[in-house]
Amino acid sequence: KIAEYFAIETSEIWVISPIAKNVTVYKSLKTIETFTAADQETVTSEQLPGFELSLTELAQRIDELIEKS
For the segment 7-58, what is each residue's pLDDT rounded down to a tens digit? 999 999 999 998 888 999 999 999 999 999 888 899 999 999 999 999 999 9
What pLDDT does residue 2 have?
A: 95
- Rounded to 5, what percent of the chain is helix, strand, coil? 30, 30, 40
What pLDDT does residue 37 have?
A: 87
CA dihedral 32, 33, 34, 35 (to 10 degrees): -160
Contacts of 44 (CB under 8 A, 6+ apart): 51, 52, 53
